[in-house]
Chain A
Amino acid sequence: MNTTTDTLAPLFQFLDHTLTTAQTTFDKLPGSAVIQRYVKSSHQNDPGRTLLELILIIFAIRTLLQSRTRADRNGSHFIKFTDKEIDELVDEWTPEPLGAPLSPSEESDLAALPIIAGPNGPKPKLLATGKVATNLASFNFTGLAGNEHIKQRAIETLRKYGLGSCGPPGFYGTLDVHMQLESDIADFLGTEAAILYSQGFSTISSVIPAFCKRGDIIVADRAVNFAIQKGIQISRSTIRWFDHNDLGSLEEVLLSIDKERKKRRSPLTRRFIITEGIFQKDGVMVDLPKLIELKYKYKYRLILDETYSFGSVGRTGRGLTELYNVPASKVDMLLGSCATGLASAGGFCAGSRTVVDHQRINGPSFVFSASMPALLAVSASEGINILRSTPSIFETLQDNIRAARAILDRIDCITVPSHSASPIIHIFVRHATPALLSPPSHATPTKTHHSHPTSILSAKDIGREAEYDAEERLLQEVVEEALTHGILVTRAKRLRGQEMVEPRPSIRLALTSALTKKETEKAVNTLKTVLVKVLGRKR
């Protein structure tokens, strides 16, 4: 016993010495006395607290030291393997192929894709046949494609600016022509400002996450387009759905959210209504004045996607706000595309200066992407100038739409839910029970269906997908048959399996003012013959 104490004596001595040195060094530190006093008195008053603080400090150190890139290796689900076992598991594992081959029908669809040789426009030449077709598929509402004046301006711009901007807007990629187009759009719509994105599709999926964060509330239409779905998904906000274009249903949802908030006394968060002007999925138009009334009543901000209504409806193509005579400043974020009505490329978001400036720092696809080529921006600016001064474009367009609808509405094997002023017209196969398929309208709200706002699936959608394959084949046949008659139309192509709701297959027409009323009538009449022939055969 004695010997052990003897052998340990130097150790004790050393420990004692270290402790004293530590003590004196600590005392020398400025402010050490204060800390000492604090710890002492706090320990005296509440010894439990000392323990708690000690645990906290240890926890903090542990968190700091933990690897950023490793998941919790000590979690209950982690299994420890030896290196040999891991090697065996690695050898055993066989991944699925990165890209599975397409199904035969998908392959034939891809092969049947019409490819245009030379300029696209109202009457393009097809690569496969070398024949000219009447184009009811491409977006050229205002007929600006191929406009000689725009081409001339584009060439001038090319000579002055080159093609690419070679940089994101933040780093020497903001050109004066971009600022010009932004102010042109803002002026045209009557908003304070606008911001330009370099692709129409990526605009809204960037705008939504710029504003909507976790905990915010989004109320959206059940039939919103894919880009909006993705924007909502990435925002991680709380999402509530209302029936497609049914503002009665919207009001119910808004009321229920209000009630819930009052009940829970949760703090005020940002709230948004997201919907489309003319819906990409069926061409239905939203009742903007009523929507604005609701938005003000329940204090929501409105994100309105006008991709298909900007440059297509209203006296000079300013979109829904012009059609309904609502000041555009009442729409908080008004989005549109320069690729549809203006026959250029890119998209924009118009709104107040705060809204726009916020996106210049927070819009992912604005900040991290190169700005659009100068000549495309100038083309869009020129497009706006032409639209301002030529309202006759929209008279022709509306005449064509009316003429097309007059023919289509009388065919009984199809249904056309699209709004009578919409330049995109969706043709669905009429179902055996047509009552269910009539386009939902807020005038006669269908109170019989009750869908839950947390689910995007509407009560009346369920159980329909099975028929979609057959309908899709049928419509594809119509498209291919129409092409042999010199009419270029397209099925509304969808991302089957990736959409939140499988949309019903349809044929989507896009009318243009570049065709005369006669040409439109002729083309739609041919389409009618094909529709009746193909759909009639299958009945």
Chain B
Amino acid sequence: MPFSSPSPMALNKPSPTSSIFKKRSANPVLPASAASYLSALSQADARARTGTAAPSFTSTPALSLSSSATASSEGTVLDPAELENDGLVLPLQPPTSEQVFATLHTEFGHCANDEFRTVSVHPVGTPLAPHVEQDPPYYVLLSTYISYLLLIVLGHVRDFMGKRLTPARYKYLMPHDGYAPLNSDFDSFYTRRLKTRMDECFSQPVTGVAGRTIMLLDRMSPDYNHTQLFTGTRTRALNISSYNYLGFAQGSGGCADAVEESIKRYGVAALGARLEGGASDLLGTAEALVAKFVGMEDALISSMGFATNSTYIPALVNKGCLVISDEFNHASIRFGVRISGAHVRMFKHNDMENLESLLREVVSQGQPKTHRPWKKILVIVEGLYSMEGTMANLPVLLAMKKKYKFYLFVDEAHSIGALGPHGRGIADFFGTNPRGIDVLMGTFTKSFGAAGGYIAGNKTLIDRLRVYGHASPYAETMAPPVITQVVASMASIMGVQGFTDAPKALTDGEYHHPGPAPPSALPGWLHLPPALASGAEGTERLRRLAFNSRYLHTGLKKLGFITYGHAASPIVPLLLFNPGKMNMFHRLMRARALPIVVVVVAYPATPLTTGRVRFCVSAAHTKADVDVVLRACDEIGDVLDLKHGLKKGERWSVEECIRRAGELGRA
């Protein structure tokens, strides 16, 4: 069993680790010790693999769909060299004859144990526990500030010297030939002097499906990250970074089959804007289905997630209106609000008291200077915040909305599909009626493995947006294959009436939220395989995601890390603080024998001192994958001194976390 004996991927604890720690304390210079650590790590890994993995590898796998699908699936890039079993390409535990897995293990992991499932729901009537941001010890904060200070001072010194010694290299930052520089040295200072140092963490090119694993195109930099060269090799890595919450990023399976059919039927492009000859029957069907999915009267679809906010918010508010926006709202919301010409005020992240006092102020004061009453007030929050993993306090917002008569806009870019027992987002999670919210916005990029976004609301409002939204007359409509991916994945989460035995499946052909989709809501040519149409696979995905999210979140907490956000959130930020640790964390994860790719984010995406690594859990991950991540974090956390969340005595060992996974994941 994977949790009774140490996983073959783990470092062989007793001998090499302790010596490394001694080394580290003796020689605190990071790169040197880290490099030696890395080589020891991979050696230990190789040893462990030959030692313990061998028996499970040689045992005869039962005949099942999985083995055939994994080995000989069409169109999947499988390197023969990759077939060495490290749990990445083939599952460590071969399936038994009862288990039938229809997915590729690289895209959507095989995990049959029903113990590792849970439901994403908030008990109705209980208030959302306030989110406490745990502070690190003072020396961490101090060293973080000193790191930035050092980086800034060094950067300026280098700029000063460089401009005098090698002026040619700074020419593009100086006025030349009567042109002002495109990029002034002051504006680009952060990019040149700080971000460049950690460029290896960003914009990593990949190929293939961004599923459970991802294929990296290896690159190296000969000149301190100024240029990146491809080495020509590829590395498959465990992907805990993509927004693939429900694991619908797949090149095979029912959804991909539906998309293929749609390409044959509809071609690739929509050829124009909604109002100028780009509207199709498929678009109408999809919009109606989205409305049903989120539980609103009507919905419209836009071809790009960012543009959904930036081009439709200006159609909601204009001059004389007030937008009250959470301080951590996404850039697209800010972009849209700025274009709209409405007045904007911010409140502290998720602080409902702050919001209420702000509301009392703005309603009583009216518009600045003139004191005229506001035409309307729109409060914009996100369902799930992409950098924090925190959730909007929907019950309080809805109660406050009754009193202060503002309109509520919830950006569900990350929460739709990822939260709630039926995957219907934040309202589903809190068990409230979505119609209490005025505007629901979301994207298809994340949970649905597609692209673009939607806005849902009442019919009058959506019709108005169809005419007045900036994208409506000018932007291309969503391409038919993308629409089909949305429809197929959404229908498989909902289940189709007649195919599902869910108690909510009523026979009157009507839709009851949050129930299965009536067959008439799908395009006539779309035939989903039974597992999808019955909603069984969709439910499975929701439950796996809910378990994985809670397991990773609570597991990291128990190991002693500082994490942010709600335990049910598939976004799990782990706080690193020091800028130098981000690079190291990324590199150590990437260089493991079973490589893991992570997203590290720092200022300006986060406040200066709270640099972090952000894990995005997926339903495609197996429990064993989360184990791998926990083990890796545990080892690296010791090396980089990251466990500031719990005192030594209160921490759990990683083995204990893994053993008690079921308990942690159900919380």
Report A's interface with B, CB cutoff 8 A.
68-71, 73, 77-79, 81, 85-86, 89-90, 93-102, 106-107, 109-110, 113-121, 127, 135, 137-140, 145-147, 150-151, 154-156, 158-167, 169-177, 179, 198-202, 205, 211, 213, 216, 225-227, 230, 233-234, 268-271, 280, 299, 301, 337, 339, 343-345, 354-355, 358, 360-361, 364-365, 367-370, 372-373, 375-376, 379, 488, 490, 492-495, 498, 508, 510
On whether A85 and B202 interact (CB within 8 A), knowing A102-B467, A164-B448, A498-B314, the answer reads no
Q: Which of B182, B280, B476 contacts A201 (CB 8 A)?
A: B476
Return chain B residues, CB-CB under 8 Å to A169: 203
Please tell me if the beta carbons of B310 and A202 are within 8 angstroms of each other in the complex: yes
Could you list 13 further interchain pairs (A-B, Cβ under 8 angstroms) beyond the known A109-B467, A355-B182, A370-B445? A78-B365, A98-B461, A99-B461, A127-B284, A145-B267, A146-B267, A154-B268, A159-B76, A167-B242, A174-B206, A369-B305, A490-B277, A494-B473
Give CA–CA (A348, B77) in the complex, Å. Answer: 29
Residue of A nearest to B599 (CB): A171
What residues of B have a CB within 8 angstroms of the CB of A174 in the complex? 203-206
Rounded to whole angstroms, the CA-CA distance of A361 and B191 in the bound complex is 8
With A69-B327, A113-B275 as contacts: A201 and B307 at CB distance below 8 Å = yes
Q: How many whole Å from A69's CB to the nearest CB in chain B?
A: 5
Which residues between 521 and 576 of chain B lie within 8 Å of chain A, taking CB atoms?
none
How far apart are the CA atoms of A115 and B264 in the complex, in Å? 19
- Select the stretch in B111-119, B126-134, B375-383, B654-662 that faces chain A: B375-383
Minimum C-beta distance from B263 to chain A (A): 5
| Known contacts A372-B451, A373-B450, A175 near B205 by CB under 8 Å | yes
- B446 / chain A contacts, CB cutoff of 8 Å: 166
**B181 / chain A contacts, CB cutoff of 8 Å:** 270
Contact present for B267 and A354 (CB under 8 Å): no
Docked Cα-Cα span, A163 to B271, in Å, equals 19
Assess the A145–B269 pair: CB atoms within 8 A: yes
Of B62-70, B140-148, B154-162, B210-218, which stretch is located at the interface? B210-218
Q: Shortest CB–CB separation between residue B30 and chain A, in angstroms?
A: 24
B172 cross-chain contacts in A, Cβ below 8 A: 354
B203 touching A370 by the CB < 8 A rule? no
Chain A residues positioned under 8 Å from B347 (CB to CB): 69
The smallest beta-carbon distance between A168 and chain B, in angstroms, is 9
Q: Which listed segment binds A: B400-408, B421-429, B626-634?
A: B400-408
Hey, which chain B residues are within 8 Å of A365, CB to CB? 304, 306-307, 310, 332, 335
**B48 at interface (Cβ–Cβ under 8 A)?**
no
A90 to B359, CA, bound (A): 9
Q: Using Cβ atoms and an 8 Å threshold, which residues of chain B touch A146?
A: 267
* A391, B346: Cα distance in complex, Å: 55
The chain B residue with its CB closest to the CB of A351 is B182
B230, chain A: closest CB distance, angstroms: 9
Q: A171 contacts B277, CB within 8 Å?
A: no
A-B contacts, 17 of them at CB < 8 A, read A99-B460, A99-B465, A151-B263, A155-B260, A160-B251, A161-B209, A162-B449, A171-B202, A176-B207, A202-B311, A234-B339, A345-B303, A365-B307, A365-B310, A373-B481, A493-B273, A510-B277
Q: How far is the CA of A225 from the CA of B371 in the complex (A)?
A: 35
Known: A69-B345, A115-B279, A269-B180. A163 touches B482 (CB 8 A): yes
B464 touches A101 (CB 8 A): yes
Shortest Cβ gap from B454 to chain A (Å)? 14
A158 touching B251, Cβ below 8 Å: yes
Contact of A116 among B191, B281, B346, B445 (CB under 8 A): B281
Chain B residues, CB < 8 A from A271: 180
**Contacts A110-B467, A176-B207, A227-B474 hold; do A135 and B277 have CB atoms under 8 A apart?**
yes
Evaluate whether A164 and B376 lie within 8 angstroms (CB atoms) in the complex, with A151-B267, A158-B259 already known. Answer: no
The residue among A85, A115, A205, A354 with the most chain B CB atoms within 10 A of its own CB is A115
CA distance A71 to B147 in the complex (A): 33
Contact A119 B266, CB 8 Å, known A85-B364, A199-B476, A368-B330: yes
- Most A CB contacts (10 A, CB to CB) among B208, B275, B277 go to B277
Q: A118–B474 contact, CB under 8 A?
A: no
- With CB as the reference atom, state the residue of chain A lying closest to B304: A199
**List of A residues within 8 angstroms of B330 by Cβ:** 368
- Rounded to whole angstroms, the CA-CA distance of A159 and B347 in the bound complex is 45
Counting chain B CB atoms within 10 Å of each CB, the highest count among A169, A360, A376 belongs to: A376
Q: Are B182 and A225 closer than 8 Å at their CB atoms? A: no
Residues of chain B within 8 A of A79, CB atoms compared = 364-365, 371
CB contacts (< 8 Å) of A372 on chain B: these are 451
B179 at the interface (CB under 8 A from A): yes
Q: In this assembly, does B468 line the interface, its C-beta being within 8 Å of a C-beta of chain A?
A: yes
Contact A98 B365 (CB under 8 A): no
Q: Which of A73, A139, A360 counts the most B-chain CB atoms under 10 A from its CB?
A: A139
Chain A residues near B211 (CB, 8 Å)?
Answer: 162
CB distance from A268 to the nearest CB of B (A): 5
Contact of A163 among B278, B339, B377, B449 (CB under 8 A): B449
Question: What is the minimal beta-carbon distance from B231 to any residue of chain A, in angstroms?
Answer: 14
